Amino acid sequence: MNTTRLIATAMAAALLTTSALAQDKVLRFATWDSDESLAIQESIARMFEAANPGVTVQVEAYGDGYDEKLTAAMGAGDPPDVMYMWNFPAYAASLMPMEDLIARDAAEMDLADISPALMNISTIDGHTYGMPAGFTTQVVFYNKDMFAAAGIAEPQAGWTWDDLRAAAAQFRDAATNTYGFAVDAKPDPFDFEQFYWSNGTQFISDDGTTVDGYMNSAAGAEVLDMFADMIKTEEAVALNIGDDTSGSTLFKAGRIAMFQSAMWSMTGIQSSGINFGVVVLPNFGDQPAQSAIGASAMSIAKDAAEPELAWEFVKFFSSPEAVAMRTGDLPIRMSVAAAKGLTEDPIFQPFFTMLDQTTVHTAAFLQNENWGRIQENLSTAIEATMIDQGNAQAHLDEAVARSARFLN
Amino acid sequence: MRKTALYGALIFLSALFVAPFVWTLITALKSQSDLVAFPPVMWPETWHWENFAEAWGKQPFNTFLKNSTIVVVLSTIGQLFSSSLVAFGFARFRFWGRDPLFILLLATMMIPWDVKMIPLYMEFNALGWINTLKPLIVPAWFGEAFFIFLLRQYIMTIPMEIDEAARMDGANSWQIYWRIHLPLMAPALVLVGTFHFMNAWNDYLGPLIFLNDQSTYTLPLGLALFKGLHETDVTSIAAVTIILCLPPLVLFFLAQRYIMDSALGSSVKG
Amino acid sequence: MTLADQPLSSLGQSRRRRSIAPFLFISPWILGFVFFTLGPLLFSLTMSFYDWPVVGQRDFVGLNNYTTMLSQDPQFWESLAITAKFAAIFVPFNIGLAFLLAVLLNAKVIGSGFFRTIFYLPSVISGVALVMIWTWIYASNFGLLNYFLGLVGVQGPNWLGDPNWSIYAIIFASLWGLGGTMLILLAGLQSIPKELYEAARVSGVPAWAQVWHITLPMLSPMLLFTTITSIISAFQQLTIALLLTKGGPLGSTYFFAMYIYDNAFKYHDMGYAAAMSWVMFVIVLVLSAIVMRSSSAFVYYEGEVKAQAGGNDA
């Protein structure tokens, strides 16, 4: 009997100490970032607290489990007040449209400083559900020492995939397991669509109803076949076919000379001590290469307890001082980028070139509510082409056929 | 000759089971340059023992350790008590509705958590338990089907004559449970304790779904913070994984002898 | 107050008292079921009749989720077939190997505690670290497995990258966690009275016959337990495949539970996920019922409560 009571008391005590103490106003902010990027966001949150006495920002970091956590919390009607967001179509019904607030505070926010391409990714049916806080475009990293040792000229802006393949072929060395380039057999379709755009096509029609003739267009199949052929001719190593050694690991170990990636690889590559350069994505023929634009956008829950406070916080995150603090991605404000010298720096400048030369595209996932399921078939087609080392058209046609039932 | 074969088999199998653990340990001790080396470095030249302290310091792991300890200790006690009680009820009584209830109990093991998660979240939210450790502790006090089933099977291997003899001596059902069956169940209770301890210690989804801020996080959530969307801190994951393995391993090593010294196997006449 | 304060169900008690005793013993589980399981269960059943996105408009669609699944969704059948294949191989191997290990460890060996701990070791390592470990073992170029195969002159396949091999790679990785099953069987072996073996030895019964006539029948309650729980865990197999292959290559390890997971977390179609869960629930329940039913033929309970025996009959 005593034991039981003791346990009950211990339990009660333990539970009491863990419950949060009451504060004047607590703003919940959920993020998927970890490590340094998370630390930066925490310091931005502390700055916001300093500027707004009586407000506590509770930073909730879920890392890799972000999507699961958000699904549960959203589904149960208990989302955080402010959150990082990428899947706007899935959550739009529970997010607060911001276009009126943006219009109201336009002068203060200096929107001309932010590229319209960055606003486009969080807009559905004319409603804006997120403010960007940082972004990245896609580029090619290359190993300067390897190029010098092989006596090959470094890639230049305006280069083509043929140039890349010609260079890559010269790095192949079976003895040291060295390749010129790496092709991801299971790319994120969101990033992969840039190659469709670059080759003059897209995944889905502008009205979001048709994939036949788009996803499986000749231009699309050409893209897939080209990458498959690079694997076949050993110009590139295939990533993610049973081996999850990442492209960045191979690049940092000097096993690939060129590596297509984005800002998320930058810190790792810089700290690896590799002598590297950065160049824009190659063109298909003479059409300027297009880039997928990945942004960390901030959204507000529709039922946030303090919508005005939440909005202040979101605005603060896209303010010049907060944007200047971020190092894991690129500044959404051109004034900050210029002030930091990034637009002149040869390492960072290609990212901005990619942003400039990318004409505004709407990503497929914003255009069809069933895109998640359709995309699964597309992923399989890409993977099948890479394993097959060809036959893109047949695999894409099958993907289109299997997607038909999601398009009505 | 026979013994040699037995030890040979055991040592070979042990190597198979222990190799990955050793690999994790080696990974934890690698320098950053060893880590990205390709082909992989099998035996680093310098061992970076400081990686352990560094990884532990990168997140508030002391807080996570405190939370994990509270959850594991309190829920294990509850699990042992409730599951053995319920198992005894199912194993030693005949009552109206017993078999359908037992099928129902088994059935609860078969529901995927994906669909339970949202309604459970709503319930805990209504109770005000979200962002506390309660959702991770309280349900254990109501027993879990897997453990009840395990203990019930174990009790049913114990001869009925033991109960009858005790009853002749005037013992009631509670006394039979508490004084006779709990000690006899010791090997199975050690199992339940071990399994529940491991489940609670390593549980990732429960804490992820029901906890919000770092002050309430448990160790697996802290460990997961090393895995970002694009980049993973492999050394830290390996180091903290090794640290997290140690308490359950030591406990298990101490507890496993009780699985062997079964009171039943040696003293009870069949 | 504890139960010890009131004598329960002893022979001299009143009928009413006695009939309530078993319910007092199982009351924790009944309460837990009502509080934490019944609600979610009914909720998910309701969801399965709706087009239920995580947020936004929910529409009643009747049996639509079920009919779509059965008649229009090839993925449903493909993932079900993969899961069935996995279960058909995993369950017998899991129990068979765990049984062998348990018998090995049940012999009097020096350092048996050490060996037991080693075999349980993999069950202690969880989550993210598992990915690193298994990709290291299975890597086609520098993997441990293919290195050893190379020593005996076999060119190993790309385990996780070849659609024909990936499922076996997942099965093998899952079997690595058989330490728990082994311990359960070991505990069962330990509870077999030694006198039975001594008596058999005296009568000259050979070792294999002792296994057949003593070990297996006496262990049968635990074998039943491990069979049913292995079936359940085989059908719920998710974590290892999710971490190692994400269902690939080419969907060759895309398990049923992963399809449920994707419906819930990727497509946010909770109604469809719930309907699939109920289908899985019924399949596993039927399989378990068959095993349970047939168990009376081969499971021997030393302490079974038989109607005639009286016991704690209420």
B86: its two tokens = 């319920």
Residue C154, phi-psi category: left (phi > 0), alpha (psi -120 to 50), beta (remainder): beta
d(CA C89, CA C86): 5
Test B117 with A248 for CB contact under 8 angstroms.
Answer: no
Instruction: Indicate if the pLDDT at residue C74 is higher than 80.
Output: yes
A405: its two tokens = 């039932």
Higher pLDDT, C298 or B171: B171
pLDDT value at residue A96:
95
pLDDT value at residue A18:
41
d(CA C177, CA C179): 5
Q: Sort out which chain C residues have CB atoms less than 8 A from A365's CB and list them.
A: none
C48: its two tokens = 């399965």
pLDDT value at residue C230:
93
pLDDT value at residue A58:
93
d(CA C125, CA A16): 31
pLDDT value at residue A8:
52
pLDDT tens profile C211-220: 888 888 889 9
Interface of B with C in 204-233 (CB under 8 A): 204, 220, 223-224, 226-227, 232
Mutant choice from C33, C106, C128, C192 vs B, greatest count of B C-beta within 10 A: C128
Mean local confidence (pLDDT), C13-28: 72
pLDDT value at residue C139:
79
d(CA C201, CA B208): 55
DSSP-derived pairing of the beta strands A258-261 and A123-124: unpaired
Q: Sort out which chain A residues have CB atoms less than 8 A from B32's CB and list them.
A: 271-272
Q: Is B263 on the interface with C (CB under 8 A)?
A: no
pLDDT value at residue C127:
66
Mean pLDDT for all residues in chain C: 84
pLDDT tens profile C224-237: 999 999 999 999 88
Mean pLDDT for all residues in chain A: 89
Q: Is B205 on the interface with A (CB under 8 A)?
A: yes
Question: Is the bond into B39 cis (omega within 30 degrees of 0)?
Answer: yes
Q: How many CB atoms lie within 10 A of CB A399?
A: 22
Sign of CA pseudo-dihedral C290, C296, C300, C301: positive
Instruction: Give the model's confidence band at C11: pLDDT under 50 very low, under 70 low, under 90 confident, else very high.
Output: very low
Interface of A with C in 236-265 (CB under 8 A): 241-245
d(CA C296, CA B99): 14
Domain limits, chain C: 46-55+75-298
> Under a CB-based contact definition with an 8 Å cutoff, are residues C166 and C252 in contact?
yes
Test B38 with A253 for CB contact under 8 angstroms.
Answer: yes
pLDDT value at residue C312:
46
The class of domain C46-55+75-298 in CATH terms is mainly alpha
Q: Sort out which chain A residues have CB atoms less than 8 A from B82's CB and list them.
A: none
pLDDT < 70: residue spans in chain A:
1-23
Fold match, A2-129+295-349 / A139-292+363-406: yes
Q: How many CB atoms lie within 10 A of CB C300?
A: 15
CATH 3.40.50.150 fits A2-129+295-349, yes or no: no
pLDDT tens profile C107-166: 777 888 888 888 888 888 766 677 778 887 887 777 778 888 888 888 888 888 889 999
Domain limits, chain A: 2-129+295-349, 139-292+363-406
d(CA C71, CA C69): 6
Test B264 with C193 for CB contact under 8 angstroms.
Answer: yes
**A79 to chain C: closest CA residue:** C55
**A14 to chain B: closest CA residue:** B70
Q: Is B227 on the interface with A (CB under 8 A)?
A: yes
Test A37 with B228 for CB contact under 8 angstroms.
Answer: yes
Residue B160 has its nearest CB partner, among C115, C273, C303, at: C303
Q: Which CATH superfamily is domain A139-292+363-406 in?
A: Periplasmic binding protein-like II (3.40.190.10)
Domains of chain B, CATH where assigned: 60-263 (1.10.3720.10)
d(CA B12, CA A54): 63
Interface of B with C in 137-196 (CB under 8 A): 139, 141-143, 145-146, 148-150, 153-160, 162-164, 167, 170-175, 177-178, 187-188, 190-191, 194-195
d(CA A142, CA C95): 52
pLDDT value at residue C277:
92
pLDDT value at residue C12:
39
pLDDT tens profile C258-267: 999 999 988 9
pTM: 0.88
pLDDT value at residue C118:
87
> Under a CB-based contact definition with an 8 Å cutoff, are residues A124 and A362 in contact?
no
> Under a CB-based contact definition with an 8 Å cutoff, are residues C69 and C78 in contact?
no
Q: What are residue A60's phi and psi, to 5 degrees?
A: -110, 110
> What ipTM was predicted for this assembly?
0.86
Instruction: Indicate if the pLDDT at residue C77 is higher than 70.
Output: yes
Q: Is A370 on the interface with B (CB under 8 A)?
A: no
pLDDT tens profile A124-162: 888 999 999 999 999 999 999 999 999 999 999 999 999
Test A91 with C74 for CB contact under 8 angstroms.
Answer: no
pLDDT tens profile B25-44: 888 898 877 776 766 777 88
d(CA B83, CA B97): 19
d(CA A184, CA A182): 7
pLDDT < 50: residue spans in chain B:
263-270
Give the N- to C-terminal CA distance of chain A in Å, as an integer.
Answer: 65
d(CA B187, CA A93): 53
Instruction: Give the model's confidence band at C17: pLDDT under 50 very low, under 70 low, under 90 confident, else very high.
Output: very low
pLDDT value at residue B177:
93
Q: At how many degrees (to 10) do helices A2-18 and B61-92 cross?
A: 140
Q: Is A9 on the interface with B (CB under 8 A)?
A: no
